[in-house]
Structure 1
Amino acid sequence: MASIKQFQVTFDCAEPERVARFWCEVLGYVAPPPEGFATWDDSDRALPPEHQGPAFASCADPSGAGPRLFFQRVPESKAAKNRLHLDVRVGTGLVGEERLAALEAECARLVALGAVRVRLLLADDDNESCLVMQDIEGNEFCLD
């Protein structure tokens, strides 16, 4: 049986291009156009008129280490809490006030991009502090 070598994370969303740009900024990813096209607009113009308009977008880790993110337009809006979420690791190795300061600094940067701060979960006996947030379409993620 072959092992899985790569995976992508797919987001259902209303505005794929906008959500992809947000996550590129959050993670330092890039959004290369589809193969064979110089830009996403060139790719879009190659479609029949009735299918034009960004139905999907993607972004990738420029180092190749992280998973590809894919964003696809869907007609329905988000209705419930995510069953899966991303943890954006900004406080790795930090504890106490130093960790909180790193989380708060990144939170401020992301709020300026359109993210929403939901709540701070303070450290307990089992876990370090983290910040629960939402992206620009309400998908939950954590600053960890």
Structure 2
Amino acid sequence: MSRHIQVTFDAHDPRALSSFWRDVLGYVHPGPPGVGLPEGADPLAAWDDFLARVGVPEEQRNSKSAIEDPDGHGPRVFFQQVPEDKVAKNRVHLDVRAAPGRQGEERMAGPDDCPVDLGGGEDLTGGGGVEPGLQDGRPTGRPGSRSCADSSLGRTGPRSPA
């Protein structure tokens, strides 16, 4: 019997990091419990309203964030705020399958339908300490952060916030 899993990451800014990975993976932020969101509503704004209503202090409202596969196939990804800086290499990271189902040169050319520009092997850390997010349609993040876009010829592509 298989089990559903959640992948959890430590982060300085869970909301920004979850928004970055939402865009890369095509995931969504779930709405708060018991809150029906109308089509096109901003789930993060709904969370802000919900947390204010239940009395969570504003400085604690970015202590965690999650994203989910809208089709229900992939794992839930959870981001929890931690005060300490990263001091060692990540033992686990996400490899993004940028062109599943494509082979050889077609796969290496990259997907035409990718939700964000994965940068073709460029560093996506944003240079001087830019927080994770999107800038000019490209993911950005903190220096030293990591992810991979794989290819049929081995791992290539960007390194993104983690």
Scaled by the length of structure 2, the TM-score of the pair is 0.65
Of 53, 70, 76, the residue aligned with 2:78 is 70
May I ask how many residue pairs the two structures share in their alignment?
A: 131
Using the TM superposition, give the Cα deviation of residue 135 of structure 1 relative to its aligned residue in structure 2, in angstroms.
Answer: 2.3
Task: Show CA shifts across 1:30-82 (max 9, x none).
Answer: 10123134611023212343763311010100000010011110001222221
TM-fit CA distance, 1:6:
0.5
> In the alignment, which residue of structure 2 is the partner of 1:134?
159
Unaligned runs of 5+ in 2: 37-45, 120-137
Instruction: Choose between structure 1 and 2: higher helix proportion.
Output: 1
Deviations 1:11-39 (A, max 9, x none): 10000011111111001111012313461
Partner of 1:142: none
Q: What is aligned with 2:48?
A: 41
Amino acid at match of 1:36: G
Give identity over the alignment, percent. 39
Q: TM-score, normalised by structure 1?
A: 0.72
Change (3 A) 1:23 1:48: closer
Which one-letter code corresponds to 1:17 in the other structure? R
Identify if the C-alpha distance between structure 1 residues 121 and 91 changes in structure 2 by more than 3 Å, giving closer, same or farther.
closer
The equivalent residue for 1:113 is 139
* Distance in structure 1 (CA, Å) of the matches to 2:94 and 2:86: 16
- Mapped to 1, the partners of 2:91 and 2:85 lie a distance apart of 15
User: Take 2:65 and 2:155, find their aligned partners in 1: how far apart are those partners?
Assistant: 29
- For residues 17-96 of structure 1, the aligned pairs below 5 Å read 17-37=15-35, 39-45=46-52, 46-49=54-57, 52-96=60-104
| Aligned-residue CA RMSD (Å) | 3.4
- Structure-2 change in CA distance of 1:53 and 1:88 (3 Å): same
User: Residue 34 of structure 1 aligns to a residue in which SS?
Assistant: coil
> Contact between 2:97 and 2:149, CA under 8 Å: does it hold in 1?
no
**Number of the residue aligned with 2:106:** 98
Indicate if the aligned counterparts of 2:96 and 2:150 stay in contact, CA closer than 8 A: no
Structure 1 stretches of 5 or more lacking a match?
140-144
